[in-house]
Structure 1
Amino acid sequence: MKRNKQINIRHALALAGTFSFLSCCTKACLLPFLTLYFRQLGLNPAMTGIIMGTKHLVSLVWSPLAALLSKHYNKRRAVIVASLLSSAVVALLLLLLPPVNVHMQVSSCNMSALRVDPTQSVETKVLTSRVSPGTASTETHPEAPVSLSVVPPAVNTVKDTISVVTTGKSSPHLHDHPHENTSVVVHNSLTTESSVSSVQTAMKNKRSAPAQGGKQEGGLDFLGSLKAMDDLHQLFFMILLIVLLWECVSCPLEWTVDDGLYEYLDFADASDHYSNTGMWGLLGAVLGVGGTGLLVSTLNCLIAANTPRIAAHFYFFAGLVALILPVAMSLPLHLNKKRDRANRLLKAVQLIRGSPHALLCAFTTLLVGVAGSAVDNFLLWQMQDHGSSELHMGLSLAVALLSQAAFPLLAGRVSKLLSPGRILTIGAASLSLQCFYYSFLWSAWAALPAQLLSCLSAGALWWAVKVQCEDVATAGAERKVKRTYESLSLHLGGGLGSFAGGFVVQRFGLAWLFRGVAVGLMLWCVFLPLLQWKAPRQRRINYSRLLAAEASEASDSESEQDRDWLDKAVDADAGNNSSGQRRNH
């Protein structure tokens, strides 16, 4: 970019805000509902946690590296366009994967009428039938008593079949039990035809194991070993590969756009206004998650043959990507190769490590990221088990984002009453209360009141982190320090929390996951004020005052030099005049 070229700051800020709005709206259409789709396909909590944790860790490593490479080779715009197109295409690949013994219509529409054990994936078959005309109609309800007929399994199996049948009619499994009431029969999958075929497949795999052993030991037959797995693990590895590819092509987008726009506005000395685009991103996320939740809930159970309505989230995502492309191609991106050559992320880490209060803030954001992953990954599972539909989920998440966006309006008054350290503690404690509340949901709308606490758990917490960044960072490094905190919370903490949360849900259930997270955060909030009080506070250096002082000292020295020169000139002139007068005499 040439120096004499005019920069339209208003136009640049308008494009930046539009892109932030549309980008966050696009992600909010799909990402909050992604784990719900994995559950519908048949994945268990541990598998879901591994996939989401791997997704966060890939973004932690690849986002800064991809942004650095795109700047080094001056390919920012190409990376942005390729990232948008590739992310839409790869996301649609997930729709090609078939579920594992799941009736899509039941799992997408009638799942709210069933209370499923959270340690099980949605690998159940629910067959509903009407009662005889002479009897009153009955509905399956989470609180309704049912009669269970359990057949003990001959071997350990993963899948059980739950069948709701009317025993008044003939049934291949219940022809000896003529009753008029509806009953729920739980029997092992070995009694079904699909289980017989699975046993035969397992026997064939067992027989062919010696023949395949040599190839597996050599590591030359990965596809053969994948075919030898059961359907559930095949599905898990296919989803994991697709999600890895999806994250690799999508995660460079945010950092690349952020760096290009910031450098462009900084070139015009208008980078202070760039932070205002974050509010447009929150509003876009509100529209995306609330709007798609409302639209998807109005669709039929199946939007096409064997395609559940939850797949509409993927189509909305792809459609909005096409809408973003013209804006992305018009973004003003600036490449300044002379500046920022050093790795300022490492410098930001050193600044955080050198301040005890900054370290406490970093550890708090890490714990908040671990706890937030439990909410992001499994809150919708908990809501679904208590009767929530896409409408309840979308509006609930939209209320949380609106509450978070409202905190800047209260920041001025709150900062006069509380210090940033106390606000940080209050934010973590609010998230703890939210998680504890989520463990006791009882109806479809029950999660809505707790979402109002997001004003403190997210809005106040990140405001305190921003103040901490300004306090510890040197001139020009505030943005890098803030990005370090975000990476610690959203990616490292989110990854670790996803791994741990999946196994906790698999072992203990959804309710105990939220209770454990709440107890852990609350214990940290008890010790955090004490540690902040004991930690030595370093005096903040006011660089503006230093510059003003240096300028005043320089002006004083210059004035003294001017006065010295003037005095010498006057003295010399006076000496010349006196000598001239003596000569005349």
Structure 2
Amino acid sequence: MTRNKQIDIKGALALAGTFNFLYSCAKACILPFLTLYFRQQGLTPVMTGIVMGTKHLVSLIWSPVASLLSKHYNKRRVVITGSLVCSAAVALLLLLIPSSDVDPQTSYCNMSELSTGLTADVGDDLLVSSAGPTAASNLTRSNVNAAPVSQSNATLPTKTLGDTNETSHPQLAQVKNVSRMVSDSLGKPNTNRSSSSSSLPPPARNKRSRAGSGSVAHHQERKTGMEEEGHFEFLGSLKMMDAQHQLFFLILIIVSIWESLSTPLEWTADDGLYEYLDFVDASDRYGSTGVWGMLGATCGVGGVGLLVSQLSCVIAGQMPRSAVHFYCYAGVTALALPVAVFLPLYLNKKRNRANGLLKAMQLVCGHPRALLCAVTTLLVGIAGSAVDNFLLWQMQDHGSGELHMGLCLALALLSQAAFPLLAGRLSKLFSPDRLLIIGATGFALQCFYYSFLWGPWAVLPAQLLSCFSCGALSWAVKLQCEDVATPGAERGVRRVYQALSVELGAGLGSFAGGFVVQRFGLAWFFRGTAVVLMLWCVCLPLLQWKAPRQRRINYSRLLAADASEASDSDSEQERDWLDKAMEDDKSNNNHGRRINH
């Protein structure tokens, strides 16, 4: 039997598409909501940006290295299955970290539920404020814990009731006045003046109270003893931190481990599938599996948003409902595990992917218009981190719940996936350079729109614009890859653009975005991102006009031309030889006739 009959290409593509659907669905259950979970746990924007930036940089560095090692030792299937199991297990470790917020459970409730409960608590507090100092203080503390998320631009999750906007929440002002009256009657300082101690979990607050009751000499002696033990220096310094910084470092460590375990999967499975299809001369069908990944992400983000919105604020006793995101991620990942066992993979030792990436980078750097496209994708990746990290924060500040967030993100993915249906007509009207400008401009308009949200569903029009922003941008990058790549280097060039946008740009944007949000607030952060991107879109046409245009080489026509030239030369040589032979024969015949005569 020939090798083409031994391999079922349709079955291999079906398995690869199913795996991409399930794994993309699993990632969409948790990754879009991850920064929202960090906010609810008590991380500031700066801390959230550092965690997400570290996550992207780990993926940027470790993805090619892990894929190369798995190929070198022929352990691709082991890497894929091990990555699925370990990443699901490590992600669940985040649920074991206690929150540093005042009462993180209430942040999962809808704004309407909180406002209703808060009004009832204010009435009860006014009725029993004269019952006694103990009852009044306990009731005031419960009202403080029931405070909803602030709707101000500077969204700091660890702020207490005293830092919220009183003009937008009159009930909160009443609760604050009640707590002040109770504290004044007791002759004690106001309990809402600081969030450093009240924002700690009960065990952390007890530790701090015991540490504060001890003498300064005892505290100094304990600190000196920790410094003397070198191997416990890091743990000692971690114990001396406040609860918020302890939470930050624990989340940073777990997220880094989680990313290092999950990031080798995509590149390893992608390389194995491409080499498998290339082995049977079916590499042209390689791109068909990407559509299933987009559909899986749409189902994942929309389905988990709908599921979580139907649950109560606290489930299974003390577990907040946001933990469902992690359990859905682990569950769908478990469904993808049997498919990964039969995933079509092939090992082509002759193909050196490391040299392919270096060659792809040389091609991009040596082509002026490809270099401009690379800078554009880098800037869009930086701006995209603003949407990925802090859009849900902005939506939450304007009353959006899990249902609004999930459906809006799913609509954006569907709108982006619909662009290839329009690409045929738009490609006739606009060149790839124009499509690149249209995509970057559309994304800038989206960011500018996000800064003026006014309600839970106000983000919907901007999500429909994703068809002409992210969709047009990805299509323009695809055309640019086809234009600059040589045969066999298309995937390498595409990965260079993907690394610039998804990993490097998103990492740099996450680091910078956290500081900007902390300093200026969410609204001005989106406006500044839009302005910077619009300025680049204004300069980009001029730079494209100045850049020399290198004509694309059509290798199929070149081979056809070579074949035609070779055939023409052969025919001319045959014609010359025949003419010369006929002339010689003619001359010989004439010479013979002369002799006979």
**Is residue 147–residue 185 contact of structure 1 (8 Å, CA) maintained in 2?**
no
How far apart are the structure 1 equivalents of 2:2 and 2:183? Answer: 81
Q: Call closer, same or farther: CA 1:525–1:558 in 2, change over 3 Å.
A: same
Q: Give CA deviations for 1:498-543 in whole Å, capped at 9, x if unaligned.
A: 0001111111111111111011111111111111111111122121
Paired residue type of 2:158: E
How far apart are the structure 2 equivalents of 1:54 and 1:2? Answer: 49
1:181 maps to which residue?
none
Paired residue type of 1:201: A
Instruction: Pick from 223, 226, 233 the counterpart of residue 209 of structure 1.
Output: 223
Paired residue type of 1:308: P
1:187 maps to which residue?
193
**What's the CA shift for 1:237?**
0.9
| Bigger share in helix | 2
CA root-mean-square deviation? 3.2
Q: Call closer, same or farther: CA 1:122–1:391 in 2, change over 3 Å.
A: same
**What's the CA shift for 1:173?**
3.1
Paired residue type of 1:284: G
Instruction: Pick from 203, 226, 232 the counterpart of residue 244 of structure 2.
Output: 232
**Is residue 104–residue 307 contact of structure 1 (8 Å, CA) maintained in 2?**
no
1:157 maps to which residue?
none
2:87 maps to which residue?
87
How far apart are the structure 2 equivalents of 1:462 and 1:361? Answer: 11
Instruction: Pick from 122, 125, 138 the counterpart of residue 157 of structure 2.
Output: 122
Of residues 264-273 and 198-207 in structure 1, the stretch that sits farther from structure 2 once superposed is 198-207
**What's the CA shift for 1:33?**
0.5
2:73 maps to which residue?
73
Paired residue type of 1:47: M
How far apart are the structure 2 equivalents of 1:119 and 1:353? Answer: 40
Aligned runs of 1:413-424 on 2, under 5 Å? 413-424=425-436
Paired residue type of 2:40: Q
**What's the CA shift for 1:213?**
3.7
Of residues 220-229 and 186-195 in structure 1, the stretch that sits farther from structure 2 once superposed is 186-195
2:554 maps to which residue?
542
Q: Call closer, same or farther: CA 1:471–1:357 in 2, change over 3 Å.
A: same
**What's the CA shift for 1:575?**
9.2
1:8 maps to which residue?
8
**What's the CA shift for 1:196?**
8.3
1:408 maps to which residue?
420
**What's the CA shift for 1:30?**
0.7
Aligned runs of 1:549-568 on 2, under 5 Å? 549-563=561-575
Aligned runs of 1:387-398 on 2, under 5 Å? 387-398=399-410
**Is residue 92–residue 314 contact of structure 1 (8 Å, CA) maintained in 2?**
yes
**What secondary structure is seen at the aligned counterpart in 2 of 1:515?**
helix
TM-score between the two structures when normalised by the length of structure 1:
0.86
TM-score between the two structures when normalised by the length of structure 2:
0.85
**What secondary structure is seen at the aligned counterpart in 1 of 2:248?**
helix
How far apart are the structure 2 equivalents of 1:65 and 1:426? Answer: 35
1:40 maps to which residue?
40
1:198 maps to which residue?
208
**Is residue 159–residue 195 contact of structure 2 (8 Å, CA) maintained in 1?**
no
Paired residue type of 2:17: G
**What secondary structure is seen at the aligned counterpart in 1 of 2:358?**
helix
Q: Call closer, same or farther: CA 1:219–1:142 in 2, change over 3 Å.
A: farther
Q: Call closer, same or farther: CA 1:201–1:580 in 2, change over 3 Å.
A: farther
Q: Give CA deviations for 1:525-582 in whole Å, capped at 9, x if unaligned.
A: 1111111111111122121111111111222233344455666777888899999999
How far apart are the structure 1 equivalents of 2:589 and 2:76? Answer: 72
How far apart are the structure 2 equivalents of 1:581 and 1:473? Answer: 67
2:350 maps to which residue?
338
2:126 maps to which residue?
none
Q: Give CA deviations for 1:302-331 in whole Å, capped at 9, x if unaligned.
A: 121221001001111111011111211111
Q: Call closer, same or farther: CA 1:327–1:242 in 2, change over 3 Å.
A: same
How far apart are the structure 1 equivalents of 2:509 and 2:298? Answer: 24
**What's the CA shift for 1:484?**
0.4
**Is residue 115–residue 142 contact of structure 1 (8 Å, CA) maintained in 2?**
no
How far apart are the structure 2 equivalents of 1:488 and 1:341? Answer: 18
Paired residue type of 2:54: T
How far apart are the structure 2 equivalents of 1:226 and 1:322? Answer: 35
**Identical positions, percent:** 65
**What secondary structure is seen at the aligned counterpart in 1 of 2:468?**
helix
**What's the CA shift for 1:277?**
1.7
**Is residue 46–residue 511 contact of structure 2 (8 Å, CA) maintained in 1?**
yes
How far apart are the structure 2 equivalents of 1:142 and 1:405? Answer: 43
**What's the CA shift for 1:466?**
0.7
Q: What is the aligned residue count?
A: 550
**What secondary structure is seen at the aligned counterpart in 2 of 1:332?**
coil
Q: Give CA deviations for 1:241-268 in whole Å, capped at 9, x if unaligned.
A: 1111100110011111111111111122
How far apart are the structure 1 equivalents of 2:9 and 2:423? Answer: 27
Instruction: Pick from 145, 156, 159 the counterpart of residue 170 of structure 2.
Output: 145
**Is residue 115–residue 386 contact of structure 1 (8 Å, CA) maintained in 2?**
no
1:296 maps to which residue?
308
Q: Give CA deviations for 1:128-181 in whole Å, capped at 9, x if unaligned.
A: xxxxxxxxxxxx9983435749xxxxxxxxxxxxx66978xx98536589xxxx
Instruction: Pick from 238, 259, 266 the counterpart of residue 254 of structure 1.
Output: 266
Instruction: Pick from 152, 173, 178 the counterpart of residue 183 of structure 2.
Output: 173
**Is residue 408–residue 463 contact of structure 2 (8 Å, CA) maintained in 1?**
yes
How far apart are the structure 2 equivalents of 1:334 and 1:230? Answer: 51
* Alignment partner of 1:63 is 2:67: no
**What secondary structure is seen at the aligned counterpart in 2 of 1:221?**
helix
**What's the CA shift for 1:9?**
1.7
How far apart are the structure 2 equivalents of 1:36 and 1:244? Answer: 18
